[in-house]
Amino acid sequence: MAFRLLALLLALPLFSGECAAQDYPARAVKIIVPFGAGGPADVTARLIGNILQENFKQPFVVENRPGAGAVIGTVEVARAAPDGYTLLMMSNTQTANESLLPQRGYELMRDLVPIAPANTSDLVIVVNPEVKAKTLQEFIALAKSQPGQLNYASSGQGTPYHMAGELFKSMAGIDVVHVPYRNSGEARNGVLGGSVQMMIDAVTTMVPNINAGQVRALATTGPKRSSVAPDVPTAIEAGVPGYDATIWLGFMAPAGTPKPILEKLNAAINEAVKRPDIVSLWAKQGAVPMSMTLAEFDGYLRGDIVKWAAVVKKINEKTP
């Protein structure tokens, strides 16, 4: 009798989780985007959120909580109830912050759990047209001739744009000043208006500005040329061997969220990113869908944390 009672008690969490997943979602789900409106994370969260809303017949509401290098919004999700009704739209900002920002108020793989990735895309190095550099090598030469006098914009500490900029500085051997903005839109406006000379931005959002002649593209940051900017050389081609920096996006939930709910969301998001219309849309923007199981995304996140820890260490060693 005691054995049966113990077995029943041990099975209760599993049964309750499965029951919760069957009814999930029964009300509105909140997707916290710890970045500003209009950037890749915000746009992707709204796109996937709309698809999930269609599938589950419940609202998926996106709320922007930018600030402190994405820490403010991430902490909010980490402290939320683990019931599947508060999700995080995250990026490699969070994996970089694990080593870049020791005082975060949370630990990524302890306080949150992976759900699914969304997509990945290259970045592009651009300068204001007034900058007297037509190529990446010319910009590097200009920066070396004026150490500490040129600057570059990012959407905040620890974001892919910041990390890509610091990695570029380190590998190119230049001293340009980091100017963090509150979000990518403001950073983009900074380089468009000439307040800052350079920015490394997502190719998905910067290509229209490049095509309009509002900025000059010097190089993309992936291992091969971007399909939406084929005339722009990679940084490797342009003279910075080994340089590789991208941005990827994904979803997480508070630790303790029932696994059946995570599996339900994982399946729905994987299905969404494989839709032909989404694949086609992202291809036109230079983004590539990512699809993984819960375990695969967990391993991916842990590997990315290790990757950026090595980059942060290298940057700290070479920072002038």
Domains, the chain, ranges and CATH?
13-120+247-315 (3.40.190.150), 122-245 (3.40.190.10)
- Report d(CA 297, CA 80) in Å as an integer: 21
Closest CA to 74 of 54, 53, 95: 95
Q: What was the pLDDT predicted at 319?
A: 52
pLDDT in the model for residue 5: 57
Q: For 14-73, write each residue's pLDDT tens digit.
A: 555 566 678 999 999 999 999 988 889 999 999 999 999 999 999 999 999 998 889 999
**pLDDT for the residue 6:** 56
Residue 24's closest CA among 294, 278, 251, 267?
267
CA gap 101, 29 in Å, rounded: 29
pTM for this prediction: 0.85
Residue of 8 and 48 predicted with greater confidence: 48
Q: Please give the pLDDT value at position 183.
A: 84
Q: What is the pLDDT of residue 266?
A: 98
pLDDT at residue 310, as a whole number: 86
Answer yes or no: is pLDDT of 151 > 80.
Answer: yes
Instruction: Give per-residue pLDDT as tens, 211-240.
Output: 999 999 999 999 999 999 999 999 999 999
What proportion of the chain, given as a percentage, has pLDDT over 90? Answer: 78
Q: Do residues 75 and 106 lie in contact, with contact meaning Cβ atoms separated by under 8 Å?
A: yes
Per the document, the length of the chain is 320
Helices 71-78, 92-100: crossing angle, 10 deg rounding = 100
